[in-house]
């Protein structure tokens, strides 16, 4: 961990000050890459996944240094799952053996996804409260647990990933504001808007796809 911190140390220098708090070059770079990543996701462009890997590693160090261990650990998960998501979008198939397309989550699967998320939140909250020195264990755990769900939904091209990200981003805005990560607050505020636009774009794509096969 110390060697990783040393690697990122040059990027920890302040690039500018925003609302009285210094903004590091690390946060600036992570901000730009994450924004382009979401724009790629909205367009169902697979290049969003390698961008997700790099931005997640940058945000891991940023969140770790801010003692947001749930969000930090989530970034490692994101980097690993981005490899899976990249493969899914390029080579993945649905249950019928067809290439993945933008679609709705089946009702039966929706219930299982909600249950898994409901169980993950208290489990993560307990772990963060017991095993780390974070001062926001349950607050940190909620968007972390929900992000696990959102990432899986995105990788399988389910439209419901977008409303999931809206909730994650709204909660994260408040969390990062509490921690003084103001540029990241701006980013996640933009994410709320982009998630709404992505939701609309995927609904349109789904409708157009169904019309084409009608």
**Quick one: DSSP state of residue 10?**
G
Give the per-residue pLDDT at 89.
95
Spatial separation of the C-alpha atoms in residues 68 and 83, rounded to whole Å = 24
Q: Residue 18: is it exposed, middle or buried by C-beta count within 10 angstroms (0-12/13-18/19+)?
A: middle
- Do residues 71 and 143 touch, judged by C-beta distance below 8 A? yes
Task: Out of 12-16, 56-60, 149-153, pick the least confident.
Answer: 12-16
Most confident range, picked from 24-28, 55-59, 68-72, 167-171: 167-171
Taking only the tens place, the pLDDT of each residue in 129-176 is: 998 888 888 998 999 899 989 999 999 999 999 999 999 999 999 998
Q: For residues 20 and 94, which has the higher predicted lDDT (pLDDT)?
A: 94
Residue 2 has pLDDT above 60, yes or no: no
Nearest to 72 by CA among 85, 62, 84, 82: 62
The domain segmentation of the chain, as residue ranges, is 19-102+111-213
Residue 3's pLDDT is what? 53
Q: What is the mean pLDDT of residues 192-209?
A: 93
pTM attached to this predicted model: 0.83
Of the candidates 159, 158, 124, which has an alpha carbon nearest to the alpha carbon of residue 144? 124
Q: Chain-centre distance of CA 110, in angstroms?
A: 19
Q: What is the pLDDT of residues 103-131, one digit of tens each?
A: 999 998 999 999 999 999 999 999 989 98
- Spatial contact of 25 and 7, defined as CB atoms under 8 Å apart: no
Residue 23 has a pLDDT of 81
Residue 46 pLDDT exceeds 70 = yes
pLDDT at 29 over 70: yes
Indicate the average pLDDT of the chain.
Answer: 88
Of all residues in the chain, the percent with pLDDT exceeding 70 is: 93
Quick one: average pLDDT of 87-100?
A: 90
> How many CB atoms are closer than 10 A to CB 94?
12
Contact call for residues 170 and 192 (beta carbons, < 8 A): yes
* Residue 10 pLDDT class (50, 70, 90 cuts): low
């Amino acid at each position: 961990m110390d060697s990783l911190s040393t690697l990122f140390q040059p990027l920890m220098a302040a690039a500018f000050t925003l609302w009285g708090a210094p903004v590091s070059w690390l946060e600036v770079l992570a901000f730009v890459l994450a924004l382009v990543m979401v724009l790629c996701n909205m367009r169902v462009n697979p290049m969003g996944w390698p961008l997700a890997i790099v931005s997640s590693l940058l945000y891991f160090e940023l969140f770790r240094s801010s003692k947001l261990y749930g969000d930090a650990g989530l970034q490692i998960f994101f980097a690993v799952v981005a490899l899976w998501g990249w493969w899914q979008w390029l080579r993945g198939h649905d249950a019928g053996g067809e290439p993945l397309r933008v679609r709705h989550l089946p009702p039966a699967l929706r219930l299982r996804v909600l249950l898994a998320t409901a169980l993950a939140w208290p489990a993560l909250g307990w772990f963060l409260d017991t095993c780390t020195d974070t001062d926001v264990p349950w607050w940190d755990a909620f968007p972390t647990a929900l992000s696990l769900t959102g990432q899986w939904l995105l990788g399988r091209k389910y439209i419901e990933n977008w409303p999931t990200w809206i909730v994650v981003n709204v909660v994260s805005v408040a969390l990062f504001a509490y921690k003084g990560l103001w540029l990241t607050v701006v980013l996640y505020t933009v994410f709320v808007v982009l998630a709404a636009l992505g939701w609309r774009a995927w609904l349109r794509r789904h409708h157009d796809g169904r019309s084409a096969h009608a």
